[in-house]
Amino acid sequence: MTLQEAPTRSAGRVRSARAAYLVLLSAAAIIIGLDQWTKQLALDGLADSSTVRLLGGLIYLDLAFNSGAAFSFGTGFAWIFTIIAIVISAGILWFTRQVRSWPWALALGLIMGGAQGNLVDRLFREPGPFRGHVVDFISVFAPAGERFPIFNIADSALTVGVVLAIALELLAFRRDGTRVVDQRPSGDA
């Protein structure tokens, strides 16, 4: 028995690639703006090495600078992560030509916004272009990233976008807005 692919009803389908592109760019722009705004608030409010405790200690605001990737992996190789973010963003823009699904456009917009938010830091923050350190300021369960690495809005958006893309793929939602369904009779295994 084989699994037959048959597109069924629309699954978050938008009318055109242009509309999907607009969803992607809007999501990315919102994430970049929110990320840079909150990073500036963190720089202004936490520059004196203070830590702010929120929600009974569930979240701490604690300023940190990261020259590496997630979990401070690759510290000292910021230029590589700069190039990776540029390549990912270009790839997403190229890939979006096929997208007609607003959930896929949203997922890709979150990924691109997260990559671009941290790219802005790598390009324009100290110690200089392609070597800039990413501003992180959200720590969960304990201050200073004691229980989980410190992160920022861009990191959160990137993570949510990747999880959403994986879920869409696992649930067989195609990028064109259709869904793949199993056409086997229910008695076949």
* pTM attached to this predicted model: 0.85
Residue type, 166: I
pLDDT for 71 = 57
Active site members: 136, 155
In the predicted model, is pLDDT for residue 185 greater than 90? no
pLDDT for 6 = 47
Nearest to 4, CA basis, from 171, 168, 184: 184
Q: What is the mean pLDDT of residues 14-37?
A: 92
Which range among 41-55, 126-140, 175-189 shows the weakest confidence by mean pLDDT? 175-189
Mean pLDDT of the chain: 87
pLDDT for 2 = 44
pLDDT for 98 = 87
The domain segmentation of the chain, as residue ranges, is: 14-48+65-136+151-172
Dump pLDDT digits (tens) for 121-160: 999 999 888 888 999 999 999 999 999 999 999 999 999 9
pLDDT for 187 = 60
pLDDT for 162 = 97
CB atoms within 10 A of CB 56: 6
9 vs 19, more confident? 19
Dump pLDDT digits (tens) for 60-107: 999 999 887 665 666 777 788 889 899 999 999 998 888 999 999 999
pLDDT for 14 = 61
In the predicted model, is pLDDT for residue 174 greater than 50? yes
